[in-house]
Amino acid sequence: MRRALPLSADERRAASIQAVIRLARDADPRQITTASVATEMGVSHAALFRHYPDKAALWADAVDWIEQELTQRVEAAAAGAPKPRAALAAMFEAHARFLADFPGAPRLMLSELQAAGDSPAKLRTRGLVARYSERVAGYVVKAQRQGELRVTLVPAMVVNLLLGALQGLVVQALISNAPEQIAAQAAGVFDTLWCGLGAHT
């Protein structure tokens, strides 16, 4: 029987991030320790520290992974849409699917944003939200230019409503302990919001 090859440094770091995201699904991210991450991975605490000097560095990399994965998903969803409204709907649903697939991700980000001080993960979370909001705002402006959305609306406020709706779905999922509902309800929530914004359909 052939022995499995050891993981590379990059693979070990990726496994560490996934362990954090899995643990954050059910545990308070502030209470997750590097020792618990190592246990989740099935490695020694010392082995984990060969790749991450402390919890702050691991959490920061976890936020980077969240941004990369989320961005890839929403951009792929928007790419196949014929018009801005369809792109926004596809992005909204892709974002919801990501949150349902990785419920530990929003818990980790919210935990960092609520923490005192400016940790590397908190700063990266702020950057993630800013870049994501700018991306969505671009499609909102396109929708206004093409007559799909009222031009009197402030794009930043529309973005806030869309992100707020996703956050609301996350909170409801936490209450019911049913993250799959985030994706299941996304299309209906988006359509309701769009109608409320006075969009042409």
Contact by Cβ (8 Å): 181, 173: yes
Instruction: Report CA dihedral (191, 193, 198, 201) to the nearest 10 degrees.
Output: -10
**Which tens digit of pLDDT belongs to each residue from 99-117?**
999 999 999 999 999 988 8
Exposure string for 131-161, b = 16+ CB within 10 A, e = fewer: ebbeebbebbebbbeeebbeeebebeebbee
Place of tokens 């993981």: 7
What's residue 201's pLDDT? 46
pLDDT tens sequence across 76-90: 999 989 999 999 999
End-to-end alpha carbon distance in the chain: 61
| Four-point Cα dihedral 24, 97, 121, 125, nearest 10 | -140
Rounded distance between C-alpha atoms, residue 110 and residue 24, angstroms: 11
Average pLDDT over residues 131-160: 95
As a whole number, mean pLDDT of residues 173-181 equals 91
Render pLDDT for 9-37 as a digit per residue (tens, 0 to 9).
Answer: 788 889 999 999 999 999 999 999 999 99
Whole-number CA gyration radius for the chain: 19
Q: What is the mean pLDDT of residues 3-7?
A: 46
pLDDT computed for residue 111 by the predictor? 92
- Given this model, what pLDDT does residue 5 score? 36
Alpha carbons 152 and 180: distance in angstroms, whole number: 35
Neighbours of 80 (CB within 10 A): 9
Q: Please say if the pLDDT value at position 197 is more than 60.
A: yes
> For residue 6, what pLDDT is reported?
56
Tokens for 14?
Answer: 């990726």
State yes or no: pLDDT of 3 exceeds 70.
no
Beta strands per DSSP E along 3-101: none
**Average pLDDT for 47-68:** 91
Structure tokens at 8: 């590379």
Looking at residue 1, its pLDDT comes to: 32
Q: What's the pLDDT band for 47 if we cut at 50, 70, 90?
A: confident
Residues 6+ apart with CB under 8 A from 99: 105, 106, 166, 169, 170, 173, 179, 182, 183
